[in-house]
Amino acid sequence: MPDLKRSPLLPREDAREAALFFVVAALCFLAALTGLATRAAYGAAESWAGQVQGEMTIRLVDGGEEDAESLARLLSDLPGIRSVEAEDRDVTESLLAPWLGTNLPDDLPLSWYLGVQTMPDAANLSETIVDTAEGAGFQVEVEDHQRWANDVERSLGILRLTGMVALILLVTIVLSVIAFATHSALLARRDVVHVLHTCGASDRFISRLFEHRFFGLGLRAGGLGALFALLGAMLLFFGAKQAGERSWLLPQMSPDIGTFIVLVVTPLIAAIVAMIAARITVGRALSELN
Amino acid sequence: MTEPVLSLDEPTIRVDSVNHGYVSGDHVLGDINMELKAGSFAFLTGPSGSGKTTLLQLLYAAQKPRNGRVFLFGVETNTASRQTLTRLRRRIGVVYQDFRLLNHLTAYENAALPLRVTGQHEREYRDDVLDLLNWVGLGDRIQAKPTTLSGGEQQRVAIARALVNKPHLLIADEPTGNVDPEMGERLIRLILELNRRLSTTVLIATHDIALVERLQAPILRLENGLLMHDRRGDFSGG
């Protein structure tokens, strides 16, 4: 008995499908990279906001180093306060340098500043700090960075919106190009559709053949594109991390569930779009046949 | 709505006042009326361009007539649903002039295609397909791809594919056009045997006048889109 290998009913991938594979992979690379970048920018934005909103500065209007340290200890026990630290004179001088210049005389009286780190959910701390300090006989001014926080929040809003618009635009382009490329690749297979049709294959049978083929193609190409996007993003973000001490301002990669979702969803969407495009194209080709 | 029943009591083919042309307005067929009873055998002849291929396409439900009606097994093709047309196609074997084999499949797989697309398991049809390929003289070429076969061999694979599901109607467009006379004779005898043993209705379009005269079968002759009937045999025309 001869060994009769069962070939797939659709021909193996040819040059047209190889081109489609490349197009889908490249587009998925761009989409996944944009997705990862947008996510990382969101993360960085949250981090900036946290940095600004979680800090306060207290100016001790009248008093010396011991007073500043005593006040720091007093405020450290307040609810909502993570830490309080009296800044030393060098820090104060560097803060005043834009107005008073450097090399200030040692006997020049300068206010003492205290840096306060607060809990993320702490509210109305300014009033509590002022009341507590005045109750202990200290005169203080509190700067809660609200003006900065508002500016940062506004900038972050613009950044988020820009990232989201770029992502939506790119995804729309990706969907259209994949659908168009699938349609073009399928037109070359009309002869197969015709033969299967006249041999008695049902429309659903023929359509399913092409849907499976193009779903698989979309999944493989999309997966490859997403993998390269992950590698590209890692290179970019880890490279940016080497940028220096201000690297916390740059987007950061974090291998969390969001990253995983971007990498899984991208090829899945590409596969589903290719499959739907295949179904529509084959449906049209079949409707032209009796 | 209930699906129409495909009836073997009805004439296998009935054509009522069919006029058919292209969108451009050029007429190919004019006022065709004909009927082929179940189990009949007929030839369709006519010069090139007379409309033979178009008429055959109407008869194997590849096209719908622009005017008039075509009935296959009692079902009107113009009004039948796509599912019904698929069921009709599974009862019709077609041999095309240009073979229409799938080049990525072997001779065996091409011949088995009508069975495979209906979801049958290979173990159910394997022996029948091999027997058929042996019968048409391709027993040693079952693993060959069409591109490595001669024109005659490709024709025989196409014929095996048309016969493999024991169709109730066999339509062949120049089935002996690419084979030597001896093989042509064998193929026609196979078709005759199918016609006699299984009562398969057969319509063969051919230019081979010698073959037509030898078999003494009824003849439908197309000239300039009009059907001229030779009234011998068991088919009737209007």
**Between chains, do B122 and A6 touch, taking CB under 8 Å as contact?**
yes
Reading the block at residue B109, the tokens are 């797989």
**Between chains, do B77 and A290 touch, taking CB under 8 Å as contact?**
yes
| Exposure b/e, B182-216, CB count within 10 A at least 16 = b | ebbebbbebbeebbeeeebbbbbbbebeebbeebe
pLDDT for A225? 94
Interface of A with B in 164-193 (CB under 8 A): 191-192
**Residue in A with minimal Cα distance to B121:** A6
Kindly tell me if the per-residue pLDDT of B220 is higher than 50: yes
Going by pLDDT thresholds of 50, 70 and 90, the confidence category of residue B235 is very low
Sheet-wide strand order for B27-36: B75-76, B67-72, B13-21, B27-36, B235-237
**Between chains, do B86 and A9 touch, taking CB under 8 Å as contact?**
no
Kindly tell me if the per-residue pLDDT of B4 is higher than 80: no
Instruction: Please tell me the distance from the alpha carbon of residue B95 to that of residue B108, in angstroms, as a whole number.
Output: 16
Rg (CA), chain A: 31
B139-191: pLDDT as tens digits: 999 999 999 998 889 988 999 999 998 899 999 998 887 778 887 887 788 78
Nearest-by-Cβ selection for B104 from A7, A198, A289: A7
Q: Which of A178, A185, A176, A180 is nearest to A16 (CA)?
A: A185
- The residue among A3, A6, A14, A198 with the most chain B CBs within 10 A of its CB, best to mutate, is A198
| Chain A nearest C-alpha distance from B29 (Å) | 18
Outline where chain A has alpha helix (H): 15-53, 65-76, 89-100, 125-135, 146-187, 190-198, 203-241, 257-288
Instruction: Please tell me the distance from the alpha carbon of residue A87 to that of residue A65, in angstroms, as a whole number.
Output: 9
**Can you tell me the mean pLDDT for A231-247?**
73
| Chain A nearest C-alpha distance from B26 (Å) | 20
Handedness of CA A95, A98, A102, A107 (dihedral sign): negative
**Between chains, do B62 and A289 touch, taking CB under 8 Å as contact?**
yes
The verdict on B93 touching A (C-beta cutoff 8 Å) is: no
Q: CB of A251 within 8 A of CB of A44?
A: yes
Going by pLDDT thresholds of 50, 70 and 90, the confidence category of residue A67 is confident
Which residues of chain A have a CB within 8 Å of the CB of B130?
2
**Can you tell me the mean pLDDT for B53-65?**
90
Instruction: Please tell me the distance from the alpha carbon of residue B92 to that of residue A83, in angstroms, as a whole number.
Output: 87
**Residue in A with minimal Cα distance to B78:** A290
**Residue in B with minimal Cα distance to A10:** B104
**Can you tell me the mean pLDDT for A51-65?**
80
The verdict on B99 touching A (C-beta cutoff 8 Å) is: no
Those residues whose C-beta lies under 8 Å from the C-beta of residue B213, and which sit 6 or more positions away, are none
Q: What are B221's strand-pairing partners?
A: B45, B228
Nearest-by-Cβ selection for A200 from B62, B109, B117: B117
pLDDT for A164? 81
The verdict on A2 touching B (C-beta cutoff 8 Å) is: yes
The 3-state DSSP class for residue B157 equals helix
**Between chains, do B113 and A11 touch, taking CB under 8 Å as contact?**
no
Reading the block at residue B7, the tokens are 């009836």
Structure-token match 């719908």, residue found: B64
Residue-range domain boundaries for chain B = 11-91+167-233, 101-165
CB atoms inside a 10 Å sphere around CB A181: 22
Instruction: Name the phi and psi angles at B215, rounded to 5.
Output: -85, -10
Reading the block at residue B166, the tokens are 């024991």
Those residues whose C-beta lies under 8 Å from the C-beta of residue B189, and which sit 6 or more positions away, are none
* Selected residue with higher pLDDT from A75 and A54: A75
The verdict on A18 touching B (C-beta cutoff 8 Å) is: no
Nearest-by-Cβ selection for A201 from B101, B104, B117: B117
Antiparallel, parallel or unpaired: β B219-223 and B41-45: parallel
- Is the model's pTM score more than 0.80? no
| Chain B nearest C-alpha distance from A196 (Å) | 7
Reading the block at residue B116, the tokens are 């495979």
Q: CB of A37 within 8 A of CB of A163?
A: yes
A70-128: pLDDT as tens digits: 888 888 888 888 888 888 878 777 877 878 777 777 777 778 888 888 887 777 788 88
Half-sphere exposure of B41 (CA within 13 A, CB side): 17
Angle between helical axes of B107-116 and B122-135 (0-180°, round to 10): 130
Reading the block at residue B2, the tokens are 């209930």
Q: CB of A181 within 8 A of CB of A24?
A: yes
Mean residue pLDDT of chain A comes to 82
| Chain A nearest C-alpha distance from B59 (Å) | 12
The 3-state DSSP class for residue B146 equals helix
Which residues of chain B have a CB within 8 Å of the CB of A12?
104
- The residue among B83, B86, B99, B147 with the most chain A CBs within 10 A of its CB, best to mutate, is B86
Mean residue pLDDT of chain B comes to 85
Q: What are B236's strand-pairing partners?
A: B35
A vs B, Cβ pairs < 8 A, gives: 67
Instruction: Please tell me the distance from the alpha carbon of residue A233 to that of residue B72, in angstroms, as a whole number.
Output: 63
Structure-token match 């079952």, residue found: B142
- The residue among B60, B89, B128, B154 with the most chain A CBs within 10 A of its CB, best to mutate, is B89
Kindly tell me if the per-residue pLDDT of B238 is higher than 50: no
* Burial status of residue B2 (CB atoms within 10 A of its CB: 0-12, 13-18, 19 or more): exposed
Q: What is the CATH number of domain B11-91+167-233?
A: 3.40.50.300
> Which range among A2-11, A241-250, B169-178, B228-237 has the greatest average pLDDT?
B169-178
**Between chains, do A290 and B62 touch, taking CB under 8 Å as contact?**
yes
The verdict on A288 touching B (C-beta cutoff 8 Å) is: no
